[in-house]
């Protein structure tokens, strides 16, 4: 099913190197990005798609570069990272087989080092939405909505 994630502003990258798209959207098909652009244009291209409208700024999901948050189980530690808007962790902090298995079951990437993040056409659909205070409102990991703040 194709889903369009829309927000007041869409950023290809968080570092400000590109102009944000006001009233922008990202179309997601399966686990991949199908298109990025103004909401009206994306809706016109995919008229039957479900639209999820988020308050705040939508951009690429982040890489969690520190120790995973404390939680009672590896699954809950990985979920805590997803709640922060990250869909990747560094292998130095996911060293146990249990943490790696929990990450794999949730499509969370385990990376050897930090890397830049961006939204690219046909790239993996890893997205995060943050409100005006910097709190993560939603996280999409490999095309699946894995966290939504109520």
- Under the banding of pLDDT at 50, 70 and 90, the label for residue 121 is confident
Quote the DSSP letter at residue 145: E
Instruction: Say whether pLDDT at 130 is over 80.
Output: yes
Q: Which domains does the chain possess?
A: 2-60+117-148 (2.30.40.10), 63-111 (no CATH)
Q: How confident is the model over 22-33, as a mean pLDDT? A: 96
Q: Record the pTM.
A: 0.94
First to last CA, the chain: 23
pLDDT tens string 73-116: 999 999 999 999 999 999 999 989 999 999 999 999 999 999 88
Give the whole-angstrom CA distance, residue 148 versus residue 112.
28
Number of neighbours of residue 42 by Cβ within 10 angstroms: 23
The β-bridge relationship of strands 136-141 and 127-130 is antiparallel
């Amino acid at each position: 099913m194709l889903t369009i994630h829309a927000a007041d502003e869409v950023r290809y990258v968080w570092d400000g190197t590109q102009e944000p798209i006001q009233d922008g959207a990202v179309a997601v098909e399966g686990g991949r990005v199908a298109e990025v652009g103004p909401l009206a244009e994306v809706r016109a291209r995919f008229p039957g798609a479900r639209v999820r409208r988020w308050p705040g700024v939508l951009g690429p999901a982040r890489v969690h570069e520190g120790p995973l948050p404390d939680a009672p189980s590896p699954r809950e530690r990985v979920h805590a990272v997803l709640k922060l808007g990250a869909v990747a962790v560094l292998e130095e902090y996911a060293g146990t087989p249990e943490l790696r298995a929990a990450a794999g079951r949730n499509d969370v990437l385990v990376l050897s080092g930090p890397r830049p993040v961006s939204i690219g056409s046909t790239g993996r659909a890893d997205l995060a939405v943050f409100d005006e205070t910097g709190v993560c409102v939603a996280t999409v990991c490999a095309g699946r909505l894995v966290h939504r703040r109520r």
